[in-house]
Amino acid sequence: MKVATGKSILNGIAIGKIRIYKVPERVINDSLIEDTDAELERFEAARVRVQDQQMVLYEKALVQAGEDAAGIFMFHYSLLDEDEDLYEAVNEIITSQKRSAEYAVKTAFDNQADVFSAMSDPYFQARSTDVIDVENDVLDVLMGLDTMSMQGTEPAILVADDFAPSETVKLDKSLLLGMITREGSSNSHTAILARSMNLPTLIQCKDIEDDWDGKTAILDGYNHCVYIDPTDDLMESLSKKQQEDIRKEALLQDLKGKSSTTIDGKTIRVYANIGGPSDVGAVQVNDAEGVGLFRSEFVYLNSKTDPTEEEQFNAYRKVLETLAPKQVVIRTCDIGADKTIDYMELDHEENPALGFRAVRICLTRKDFFKRQLRALLRASAYGNLAIMFPMIISVREVVECKAILEECRQELKNEGVQMGEIEVGIMVETPAAVLCADELAEEVDFFSIGTNDLTQYTCAIDRQNAKLEPFSDTHHPAVLRAISMTIEAGHRHNCWVGICGELGADLSLTETFLRMGIDELSVNPTSILPLRKAIRGIDLRAEG
């Protein structure tokens, strides 16, 4: 048995196999090249690709960790802008020094990182790691390295020198038992991730050795150390301690398994919003009663080419199977001009929020839409699926979506494919949908109100523009009235109505929504138990 010490981020014990998370060495060829134009083109393609990746990471981090933590990816994105010095520097090195794109990127980014490292203020010094992070992303694209596979496929305690912000976002959290890093501070991204996930983590562990890989270990957060190949006695006593922790946590979380019912007996459903199969663990841990919004964008954003029906089917099936018999509402492709994807070849737009996005793309590109619908219908045999169409403004669109869905169903039936019963619904996120809610409700089984876009479109306030903050009011009476109108219209036509936007988790509005008659609230997994607690404390018989 070996013992190594470090600094523990939180009290807790992790037991499992060690996996050394090692980035493959990036070997840069520094020989002269002939075709500089080809290298310039390679850099340009990689640059655009990494900018897209940063946007995806931004969106992902926004969901997982909020605006403050996500902001760093906007910074990464801007590092690669054409009007920044780095862009010029890379192009210059390729052209005048006749070197490969890899060499030029490495040289230019390392120089920029040195500039930050040499600054006196610690905040600016730390930005050098951001520059290196982006450098590595660009190099990985240029060199075709797949860093995603380094985590392995088994649950493990991951050991690394440190995790870059983009790495912490990319990690599959369901396979993460704990983390040990050689570097890192209590404010590093590793530490932030550890706290947000309640994950036993040891940083500044200087005695990490490569031959730990695959060995059994106990990370003891209480005593700031890790035991490699622990003795049986130690394994027994610390397993007991771990079980005890779990029991305590269970006491704290005694709301799990209880229904979301008010004091006077009204029960609503509390569902989770998720962004991909990797979030399914969080749904279960937090005891969501279902999934109210499964953003299907991940299948498009995580893919280099248009995902096939088979790829999509596998992703949807995995989620449905794992969560069955819980209901899973999957929103069809909500890609827009602001989330551009190379292979979709979308034009640049002046006003993307009001542009060619979501169902508008799907109804224009029918084959693309049908691939997703066929994948969804095939997956429906494995669980409790509901399909939801986003950005609806008219009955005509819903009728068309349903007709294409029916066409897919007939095709699959003729092919002899098994399918399950599904509910069909729409996002209500435009004022047009609110005002036509009665007619729309006749066409569907449910409404899910997307309060983020509904607020943006109702108040004409750009969500992305920080300058508008003084004018924005998340509790704007117009938005609350729109929600109330939608619920009433839905109920007139036997439609259940939920909220899947951020307002759903706003505890100051929970009673208001209950009084309006809401049937379901879908929130981020970590908000589920607090929301259930709030619901269980409300008495609707009392004066509102």
Partner 1 sequence: MKEFQYTITDPVGIHARPAGLLKAEVKKFASSVQVFKGDASCEAAKTLKLMGLGIVKGDTITVRIEGEDEEACAEAIEAFFKANF
Binding-site ranges for partner 1 (CB under 8 A): 71-72, 74-75, 77-79, 81, 83-86, 112, 115-116, 119-121, 123-124, 127, 130, 466-467
Q: Measured from the CB atom, is 110 or 209 closer to partner 1?
A: 110
Q: Rounded to the nearest whole angstrom, what is the least distance from the CB of residue 467 to partner 1 in the complex?
A: 7
Neighbours of 240 (CB within 10 A): 11
Whole-angstrom CA distances from 34 to 79, 100, 265 are 28, 9, 77
Q: Rounded to the nearest whole angstrom, what is the least distance from the CB of residue 349 to partner 1 in the complex?
A: 16
Distance CA(388)–CA(333), nearest Å, equals 10
500 is catalytic: yes
Q: Measured from the CB atom, is 118 or 540 closer to partner 1?
A: 118
Q: Measured from the CB atom, is 130 or 297 closer to partner 1?
A: 130
Distance CA(446)–CA(226), nearest Å, equals 51
Question: Which of these is catalytic: 205, 401, 408, 500?
Answer: 500
Query: What DSSP letter does each residue of 84-95 carry, written as one string?
Result: SHHHHHHHHHHH
189 is catalytic: yes
- Tell me which residue of 113, 92, 115 sits closest to 103, measured CA to CA: 92
Q: Rounded to the nearest whole angstrom, what is the least distance from the CB of residue 85 to partner 1 in the complex?
A: 6
Q: Rounded to the nearest whole angstrom, what is the least distance from the CB of residue 174 to partner 1 in the complex?
A: 30
Q: Measured from the CB atom, is 117 or 484 closer to partner 1?
A: 117
Q: Measured from the CB atom, is 30 or 82 closer to partner 1?
A: 82
Q: What is the DSSP letter of 59?
A: H
Residue 444 has, within 13 A of its CA and on its CB side, a CA count of: 35
- Residues facing 447 on adjacent strands: 426, 497
Q: Measured from the CB atom, is 111 or 526 closer to partner 1?
A: 111
- Residues facing 442 on adjacent strands: none
Question: Which of these is catalytic: 189, 333, 362, 401?
Answer: 189
Report residue 313 as tokens. Answer: 């089917």
Q: Measured from the CB atom, is 211 or 462 closer to partner 1?
A: 462
Q: Rounded to the nearest whole angstrom, what is the least distance from the CB of residue 121 to partner 1 in the complex?
A: 5
Cis peptide before 470 (omega within 30 of 0): no
Q: Rounded to the nearest whole angstrom, what is the least distance from the CB of residue 74 to partner 1 in the complex?
A: 5
Q: What's the order of all strands across the beta sheet hosting 156-160?
A: 2-5, 225-228, 216-220, 13-20, 156-160, 176-181, 201-203, 7-8
> Among the residues of 394-436, which ranges form H helices?
395-414, 431-435
Q: Rounded to the nearest whole angstrom, what is the least distance from the CB of residue 24 to partner 1 in the complex?
A: 28
Identify the three-state secondary structure at position 443. coil
Query: What DSSP letter does each residue of 504-543 carry, written as one string?
Result: GG-TTTHHHHHHHT--EEEE-GGGHHHHHHHHHT--TTS-
Q: Measured from the CB atom, is 64 or 112 closer to partner 1?
A: 112
Interaxial angle between packed helices 36-65 and 189-197, expressed in degrees from 0 to 180 and rounded to the nearest 10: 40
Report residue 201 as tokens. Answer: 């983590």
Q: Rounded to the nearest whole angstrom, what is the least distance from the CB of residue 71 to partner 1 in the complex?
A: 4
Distance CA(73)–CA(405), nearest Å, equals 37
Report the catalytic residues.
Answer: 189, 500
